Amino acid sequence: MEDRNKKPVSSSAAGGSSPAMPVRRAVIDIGTNSVKLLVAEVAGFAVNPLLERSEQTRLGSGFYKSHRLQPGALERTAQAVARFAAEAAEFEPKRIRLIATSAARDAVNQDELLAAVKKASGLRVEVVSGEQEADWAFRGVISDPEFAGRPLLIVDVGGGSSEFILGEGEHQQFRHSVRLGTVRLLEQIEVSDPPTAAEWRRCREKLETFLDEQVAPVVKPELRIFRRGPVQFVGTSGTTSIMAGIELGLARFDRNRIEGVRLSREQVSRQRKHLWGLPLAKRKEIVGLPASRADVILAGVAIYDALMGEFGFDELRVSTRGLRFAAVMEVVKK
């Protein structure tokens, strides 16, 4: 995925302050499923993306039985970081920030990842906590004036974890990170090609049990306390951008069209049924679905479908601005 759209992204959080001088910064995000790059000009709370890239390295492949990162995944990830660092350097950013999330923070051999990346790129990795990941997801989403100031339940489904954030304006009432992600779930359910009806039932039951035991008891009480009016359900992840891209029939990533897309409960359910009914080769042919994500999309769409059912949301709003937007806005003290 590459996007050189230069339309500025601003936030109401900037308030009435005077405009800041733009500075170029870059963030490379090592996720459980993919490595992502954002190069942007940042002026206060306004972010103008200059380059965005994504490469699936599947760092979490074969990880969840031993919690040990595998040699092939380590090498693929380190080399992707090195390539993205070189691409980012062409824009002469003031800083290239390198962050890592779920698989990195849970790995018993985290030091091997840090060493491999340092050797390949010369960069130091910041391994962020689930709380930090949730905070950045919230701040990234509200950089869109469409969401700023509104009551939101934001869910960021990654490869290894999902973050739940409840807030309004710049205030976060609640944030919570759980071990539920697309790569993690896909490895647990081990679907056939094409998936069988029995495998879908097993996936659904696993999700329902997890949400009932580890998500609903924590999130639902907060929603009851918080609810002063309609709360918008917002998804910020590769999964929701892909779901929007499929619905729009987009051959390539287009932030302006994807941002703020509204997916009804019926549309999400229909996509889930359609995707789970196709073999991998047919899923790879779907416009809007990158071929490299045609396997993990099964878990991603199943998670959002289950969440909408669990919390009774009739609509899913899509945000393309997740933790990288917040990370690139943040001034880092050396």
Half-sphere exposure of 253 (CA within 13 A, CB side): 18
**Every domain range in the chain assigned CATH 3.30.420.150:** 140-318
CATH code of the domain occupying 140-318: 3.30.420.150
Which residue is associated with the tokens 């509204």? 262
Q: Beta strands of 241-323 (E only): which ranges?
A: 262-264, 315-318
Of 32, 128, 145, 99, nearest in space to 328 by CA: 99
Of 244, 236, 235, 239, nearest in space to 287 by CA: 244
Q: Is 95 exposed, middle or buried (0-12, 13-18, 19+ CB in 10 A)?
A: middle
- The pLDDT value given to residue 199: 96
Tokens of 273: 């049924």
- The pLDDT value given to residue 228: 66
CA distance 182 to 243: 14
CA distance 199 to 180: 18
- Topology annotation, domain 12-130: Nucleotidyltransferase; domain 5 (3.30.420)
Task: State phi, psi for 104 to the nearest 5 degrees.
Answer: -65, -45
Query: Which residues of the chain, if any, have pLDDT below 50?
Result: 1-18
**Every domain range in the chain assigned CATH 3.30.420.40:** 12-130
